[in-house]
């Protein structure tokens, strides 16, 4: 299926209010449009009405000859290939657009923390990743800020504590979960308000382990940037290193050899397989079906061992690089993998059938944790969560990259939006990934697996479909060094879906709902 290019659509959509000739093409399918405050304010509502979603918003300094802070607003129109990037300088007051595009709320708070930029009429001015102990006027993404040890106070005043939303009324009580949990997981705080059993409100607070990866990337070479991409989220290493490498390749006008693209696709789908196996197993664990969970985890362990054979890493690190692959994968190993996966499919299907035959599993999954379809575009919810709520979207198809445009497959879509739908969508995606790997393995080309590249100046936007959904990478290179590297993973936006999914359910269902979305703390907290 050929996806129409966004540029043609934008040319008609913008005219006559804005001259389409002002659109400038980036290194990939990213189209840049510089607007002043009045032009932007007039355009945002029209974009929302026409079905555009805000999928990214970030700041940078020294862009296109303007030494101050510029804001880049990234918009996508689903089922069109490409992205519109609106550039706004902050030499005049900047208004919040969260009332038009709710996904902007997190983005604006993040920019406020990083750069100190205030958004007029913002309905949420709380800090996002700068917690209470950070001093006032501390904005580490500003270029003039130098990384150095920081002395933090031993405690904070009561008035400096994070102001959670209050739900009041007779019989309303609060239950706080985290940020330290019983399991070996990263920190996150979940504050429930409930009357009796049903949840009335949930507020999530994350960003307890902010690592400063964006600041760390500035001034580094391309090889160091690859290590940062690998570190964004440990179980999305292939997706993130692929996106980073693709951005470098677009900037340097280089295309990897076909063999490298084929092997990359196999690695990306192996990552999707083991990720989904973990999620499916975890969901069965949370409804007390350990026999089925253990069987799926055993299959996942086998996949992880195959990852080790393919790449040298169970988590597929250290193999994808700008220009192709750091090492070849022999055809014999690929053929062995294909033979294994043909057997794997039957074993996997057998375990799924057993699980869904259990009434205790079905009872807990059905009607639990419903995500309403109308939230998907406003909050930029993607991936399994979106497809299980009726959205026919998948970046591999809507924004084709690599060799995905050559392969025929359809994303599984279910309308219910509950835990059961997310379970079934993952099952279907496992089967789809198996098919993609087998198709690619059967056509594996001979030849080179990497091409040399020479660093050039430029910037590129890349969208990929990680196991959790759409991830956005924007890279700017200048004089062989990274000027700005921005990553927005699927988890960053999808976390907000949980606050809606739990409403009306009971607190004991929260772990199941949470697991059915499989969101990454690290992937959110860069």
**Residue pLDDT tens, the chain, 526 long:** 678 889 999 988 998 889 888 999 988 889 999 999 899 999 999 999 999 999 999 999 999 999 999 999 999 998 899 999 999 999 888 999 999 999 999 999 999 999 999 999 999 999 999 988 888 889 999 999 888 777 777 777 666 788 898 898 989 999 999 898 887 788 999 999 999 889 999 999 999 988 999 999 999 999 999 999 999 999 999 999 999 999 999 999 999 999 999 999 999 999 999 999 999 999 999 999 999 999 999 999 999 999 999 999 999 999 999 999 999 999 999 999 999 999 999 999 999 999 999 999 999 999 999 999 999 999 999 999 999 999 999 999 999 999 999 998 999 999 999 999 999 999 999 999 999 999 999 999 999 999 999 989 999 999 999 999 999 999 999 999 999 999 999 999 999 999 999 999 999 999 999 999 999 999 999 8
| pLDDT value for 408 | 86
* Cα–Cα dist 171/122, whole Å: 32
What letter would DSSP give residue 30? E
* Cα–Cα dist 158/155, whole Å: 9
Q: Which domains does the chain have, with CATH numbers?
A: 6-120 (3.30.460.80), 220-489 (1.10.645.10)
| pLDDT value for 135 | 84
| pLDDT value for 290 | 95
Structure tokens at 392: 């026919």
Indicate the SS3 state at residue 473.
strand
pLDDT, tens digit, for every residue of 336-391?
999 999 999 999 999 999 999 999 999 999 999 999 999 999 999 999 999 999 99
Percentage helix, strand, coil for the chain under 3-state DSSP, each rounded to 5: 40, 20, 40
Q: Cα 360 vs. chain centroid, distance in angstroms?
A: 32
Which residues, in sequence order, are bridge partners of residue 194? 173, 199
Which residues, in sequence order, are bridge partners of residue 473? 462, 487
| pLDDT value for 158 | 66
| pLDDT value for 159 | 64
pLDDT, tens digit, for every residue of 222-276?
999 999 999 999 999 999 999 999 999 999 999 999 999 999 999 999 999 999 9
Please choose, from the candidates 48, 52, 50, 89, the residue with its C-alpha nearest in 3D space to the C-alpha of residue 72: 89
* Cα–Cα dist 519/436, whole Å: 24
| pLDDT value for 1 | 61
HEC letters along 286-312: CCCCHHHHHHHHHHHHHHHHHHHHHHC
* Cα–Cα dist 407/320, whole Å: 21
Sheet holding 481-488, edge to edge: 458-466, 469-478, 481-488
| pLDDT value for 355 | 97
* Residue 417: half-sphere exposure toward Cβ, Cα within 13 Å: 19
| pLDDT value for 4 | 87
* Cα–Cα dist 330/93, whole Å: 57
Structure tokens at 383: 């991936």
């Amino acid at each position: 299926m050929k996806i129409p290019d966004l540029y043609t659509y934008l040319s008609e959509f913008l005219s006559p209010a804005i001259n389409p000739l002002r659109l400038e093409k980036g290194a990939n399918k990213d189209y840049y449009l510089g607007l002043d405050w009045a032009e932007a304010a007039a355009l945002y509502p029209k974009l929302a009405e026409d079905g555009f979603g805000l999928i990214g918003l970030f700041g940078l300094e020294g862009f296109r000859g303007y030494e101050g802070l510029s804001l880049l607003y990234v918009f996508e129109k689903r089922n069109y290939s490409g992205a519109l990037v609106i550039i706004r300088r902050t030499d005049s007051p900047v208004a919040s657009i969260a009332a038009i595009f709710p996904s902007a709320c997190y983005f604006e708070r993040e920019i406020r923390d990083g750069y100190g930029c205030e958004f007029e009429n913002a309905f949420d001015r709380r800090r996002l990743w700068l917690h209470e102990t950070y001093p006032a006027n501390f904005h580490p993404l500003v270029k003039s800020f130098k990384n150095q040890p920081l002395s933090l106070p031993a405690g904070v005043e009561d008035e400096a504590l994070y102001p959670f939303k209050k739900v009041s009324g007779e019989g309303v009580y609060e239950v706080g979960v985290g940020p330290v949990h019983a399991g070996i997981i990263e920190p996150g705080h979940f504050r429930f308000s409930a009357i009796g059993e049903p949840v009335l409100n949930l507020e999530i607070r994350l960003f307890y382990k902010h690592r400063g990866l964006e600041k760390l990337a500035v001034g580094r070479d391309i090889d160091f940037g690859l290590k940062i991409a690998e570190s964004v989220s440990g179980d999305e290493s292939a997706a993130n290193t692929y996106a980073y490498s693709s951005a470098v390749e677009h900037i340097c006008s280089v295309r990897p050899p076909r063999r490298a693209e084929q092997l990359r696709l196999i690695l990306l789908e192996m990552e999707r397989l083991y990720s989904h196996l973990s999620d499916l197993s975890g969901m069965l664990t949370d409804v007390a079906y350990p026999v089925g969970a253990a069987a799926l985890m055993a299959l996942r362990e086998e996949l992880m061992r195959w990852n080790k054979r393919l790449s040298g890493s169970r988590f597929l690190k250290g193999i994808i690089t700008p220009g192709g692959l750091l090492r070849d994968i022999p055809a014999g190993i690929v053929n062995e993998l294909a033979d294994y996966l043909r057997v794997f499919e039957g074993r996997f299907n057998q375990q799924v059938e057993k699980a869904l035959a259990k009434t205790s599993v079905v009872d807990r999954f059905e009607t639990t944790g419903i995500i309403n379809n109308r939230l998907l575009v406003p909050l930029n919810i993607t991936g399994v969560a979106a497809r299980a709520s009726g959205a026919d979207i998948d970046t591999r198809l809507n924004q084709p990259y690599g060799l995905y445009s050559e392969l025929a497959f359809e994303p599984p879509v279910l309308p219910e939006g509950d835990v059961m739908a997310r379970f079934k969508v993952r099952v279907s995606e496992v089967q789809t990934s198996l098919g993609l790997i087998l198709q690619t393995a059967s056509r594996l080309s001979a030849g080179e697996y990497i091409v040399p590249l020479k660093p050039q100046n430029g910037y590129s936007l890349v969208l990929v479909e990680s196991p959790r959904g759409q991830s956005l990478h924007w890279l700017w290179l200048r004089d062989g060094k990274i000027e700005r590297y921005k990553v927005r993973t699927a988890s960053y936006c999808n976390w907000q879906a949980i606050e809606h999914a739990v409403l009306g359910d009971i607190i004991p269902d929260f772990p199941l709902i949470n697991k059915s979305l499989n969101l990454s703390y690290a992937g959110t907290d860069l």
